[in-house]
Structure 1
Amino acid sequence: MPASYKISQAARLLGVSDDTVRRWVEQGALPVTDSSPAEIPGDALARRAVELSAAAGDPTDVLSSARNRFTGLVTRVIVDQVAAQVDIQAGPHRVVSLMTAEAVRDLGLEVGSLAVAVVKATTVIVETPRP
């Protein structure tokens, strides 16, 4: 069964207000399911996340420190016999994971699925804008 998200969930995943998501639905920028309450199909939400990320550009004008857990939507899954590539759009961040095809099947990953990319790194770079 394809993933779908309530308006409040979609808003959190996209980093916008519930009202913004409702406005996008009214404008036809996001489709909704026929269910009550209305939900947004995961694949449509994934496409919107990619559009917003592309429009956001380089976010170097903000103070930030990346975290090790990136919650987002799966925007692409490429699977062959043994290996797979999974792209996750977590707000303005695109995270790409290489894993086994078996792991993709076991996790049920598909475009529009909710996923968390967990990054284990020995080096973390923190940047701030120049004064």
Structure 2
Amino acid sequence: MTHFRISEAAVLLGVSDDTIRRWSADGALDASVDASGRRTVTGASLARRALELAPDPGEPGTMRRSARNRFTGIVTAVQREGLVAQVELQCGPNRVVSLMTAEALDDLAIEVGSRATGVVKATTVMIEAERR
């Protein structure tokens, strides 16, 4: 079974270390101590918690779309050159880069520090995982 240190779990869910500790103390995450004496949480309980925290796409007033890959974060960089623009988002540990028209950039009023969501719709998605 996969286990994550408190700090790793916090990064994966985009919360603080203290939140992970509180959730494990409240029983929302299965916690234990590893061979080095560090507190860990199970990957399975972390996955369950991530699903619990995910927004419900069936909630009234929620925009529905076919793309399920959504990354919400903060705009960290905007570059505009003529008719095109590049926007960079930091979404937890993930950096998402989007190319768009300069007109779309203006319409969305995107600037560094804005909250934004990148929606990815692709025919191929590659997954990487560490070898253990």
TM-score of the aligned structures, taking structure 2 as reference length: 0.49
